[in-house]
Amino acid sequence: MDIRKFWEAVLKQDADAIRKYFHPDAWVNWHNTDEHFQVEEFIRANCEYPGQWDGEVEKVVTTDTSIVTAVHVFSKDGKISCHCTSFIGVADGKILSIDEYWGDDGPAPQWRKDKHIGVTIRQWEEAKRLGIIGKGSVNHEQQMD
């Protein structure tokens, strides 16, 4: 199964393409909103979701019976950005189950900023690129502007 093509169909809200990836008895759980869907309900919830969407599959981990994806999903108008982690059960090239966890993208809470706990991922990646850090963490006491 080409999980990136699956996500492409999901982001395009292409019901016919999405349907082809699922076993008929498959189900999907959206844990953040406590929702359980059968395949056709999931397709309807996805394809009737307001707006136009795009995204990027950032990470894929596979085993014989499962696929885990981390996907950045965002509205084409730029107003919404979130990340989705999906635990996908598969058999015979079809999706049997999906457990998904969605989170809105945004800045760290002010209380952590006030305590100087952590740095942004971009700051950390830039520090690695510049050789300021090795495999460990950024010196969080040092200002990373």
DSSP 107: P
pTM of the model: 0.84
Residues in the chain predicted with pLDDT less than 50, given as ranges, are: 141, 143-145
CATH fold for the domain made of 3-104? Nuclear Transport Factor 2; Chain: A, (3.10.450)
Mean model confidence pLDDT for the chain: 92
Q: 8: which strand partners? A: none
Per-residue model confidence (pLDDT) at position 16: 98
Per-residue model confidence (pLDDT) at position 144: 46
Domain ranges of the chain: 3-104, 107-145
CA distance 42 to 40: 5
One-letter amino acid at 129 equals: R
CA 35 from chain centre, in angstroms, equals: 17
Q: What are the pLDDT digits (tens) for 24-49?
A: 999 999 999 999 999 999 999 999 99
**Residue with structure tokens 């991922």?**
121
The tokens describing 110, both together, are 């002010």
In this structure, the strands spanning 94-104 and 22-30 are parallel
